[in-house]
Amino acid sequence: MNKAKDLIDAVQKRLFTNTYQLQRIVILTAVVLALTVAGFGGYYYYDRYHRPQPKIAASSIEAAEKAVAEDPQDAAKRLNLAETYLANRRYEDAIAQAMEVNAAYPDDQRAWFILGIANALGGRPAEAVEPLEKFLEANQDAEMPGLNKTLQSAAYYLGDSYLKLGQPDKAISPLERAVDWSQTDADAMYKLGMAYLGVRAYENAANMFIQATRFVPNYTEAYQGLAAAFQGLNEPGLVNYANGMAAFSTKDYSKALDLLLQAAQARPDFAPIFSGLGMTYEAASDLQNAKTSYEAAVKLDPNDFTANTGLQRVNALLNK
């Protein structure tokens, strides 16, 4: 059990430094831009993997600030400004504007959302919890939450905030909603896996990490979490699988191959091991062994998407 705890601690230390947090911020920015499109969204374009261009960002902020200066009592314009600050990662400024609206209109849901998200992204998880809880409670009966990126973001960041506060038990419910509402969100799956891991629900954690890696096959942190979950389940062969895939995700193919071959000897019934071997051999340009490994995975699990698509790729290359 101490080994499991050590693995959990190691993963938790990296929980908020992984590259997928950037992607999450990008998704959130799209939400913010959708909210502000009626106001100043047309002033700038936000690229998927980069911040707004400085000149474009400056013009959007200038326009929003000018609108508030001309009509400081207009709550909608002030919230437009707060959202523009949020989209440009000026979290303290976003909080200040949203707090002014919240003071005058304590039930304004838009202000709650901005306060919650800006505090979460600004490193204030304790301050993020209350407004996000209010926002989710007020919208608990919303229709088609699976199409509502705002609700999904609120649930994700509420769970994320509870994790940062060391309260994985409280993180589970909002993160379960985030995963249910966005069933291809690997980040939410990973965070939910970490919440399960924190309460020692190892089987649930393992299932969630596996789901996350189906969408992001090189998700290093998810494989590290998976190793901790398998350690908690006393599955040393599968610990080798998870650590092997973590090595694969960092392109350490020699280490990956060694660990995955050990895993295959211990658990020859576990299809993902052979999918992982196929991916590793393929990455190392050993196409014949990749083909053999993918075929073994498909034999164990005919619906293994990774193995089936990998086998198609390798066969195409071998038949050239």
- The domain that contains 194 carries what CATH number? 1.25.40.10
Amino acid occupying residue 58 = A
Amino acid at 194: M
In a domain, residue 294? The reply is no
Q: Whose CA is closest to 152, among 117, 181, 119? A: 181
- The answer to whether residue 290 sits within a structural domain is no
Gap between the Cα atoms of 135 and 119, Å rounded: 14
* Residue 65: inside a domain: yes
DSSP string, 200-269: T-HHHHHHHHHHHHHH-TT-HHHHHHHHHHHHHTT-HHHHHHHHHHHHHHTT-HHHHHHHHHHHHHH-TT
pLDDT tens, residue by residue, 62-103: 999 999 999 999 999 999 999 999 999 999 999 999 999 999
Domain for residue 72, yes or no? yes
In a domain, 121, yes or no: yes
State pLDDT tens for residues 45-54. 223 234 555 6
Total domain count, the chain: 1
Average pLDDT of each block of 10 consecutive residues along the chain (320 residues)?
Answer: 51 46 52 45 29 68 93 95 93 97 97 97 97 96 85 96 98 97 94 98 98 94 98 98 98 98 98 98 98 98 95 95
- Could you read off the pLDDT of 102-141 as tens digits, one per residue? 999 999 999 999 999 999 999 999 999 999 999 999 998 8
Host domain of residue 135: 14-208
pLDDT of residue 142: 84
Q: Report if residue 269 sits inside a domain.
A: no
* Any domain includes 310: no
Does residue 258 lie in a domain region? no
